[in-house]
Structure 1
Amino acid sequence: MANKTVKVQLVRSPIGCQPKHRLSVKGLGLTKMNQVRELEDTPAVRGMINKVNYLVRVIEE
């Protein structure tokens, strides 16, 4: 069984957000606007995405 991945794109700036939310964006590996990262689909990654769902977009393929 292949490892599932999820693509995440940063669509809003974390400037002015809560420090914990900024750390979640950094933990996802997103540093620049419109940057896309392909991450392993784990519960930890899904939790970080849910915490900052107003900053990121999940790209479905």
Structure 2
Amino acid sequence: MAKLQITQIKGVVGEKPQMGRTLRGLGLRKIGQSVEQPDNPAIRGMVRTVRHLITVEEVD
């Protein structure tokens, strides 16, 4: 099963509170931090919500 490597590239200051909660749900806390998450519809929806704050790469 494929995984997504998600890296936070911008902070949440000035964003709606929901954006910060979504990043926390993905496991991100700091700018520059990366996490691997499974590639499923729930994670894809969260990624779409905060796409302007993160970068996403597919890994095996």
Scaled by the length of structure 2, the TM-score of the pair is 0.90
Deviations 1:12-35 (A, max 9, x none): 001111011111011000001110
- The aligned length equals 59
Deviation at 1:4, TM superposition (A): 1.5
Runs ≥4 residues deviating over 3 A: none
For structure 1, which runs of at least 5 residues remain unmatched after alignment? none
Task: Give unpaired runs (5+ residues) of structure 2.
Answer: none
Tell me the amino acid that sits aligned with residue 49 of structure 1. V
TM-score (norm 1): 0.89
* SS class of match (2:46): helix
C-alpha RMSD over aligned residues: 1.1
Query: What is the rounded CA distance, in whole Å, between the counterparts of 2:11 and 2:40 in structure 1?
Result: 24
Identity score, percent? 32
User: Which residue of structure 2 aligns with residue 14 of structure 1?
Assistant: 12
Of 42, 52, 58 in structure 2, the residue corresponding to residue 44 of structure 1 is 42
SS, match of residue 51 in structure 2:
coil
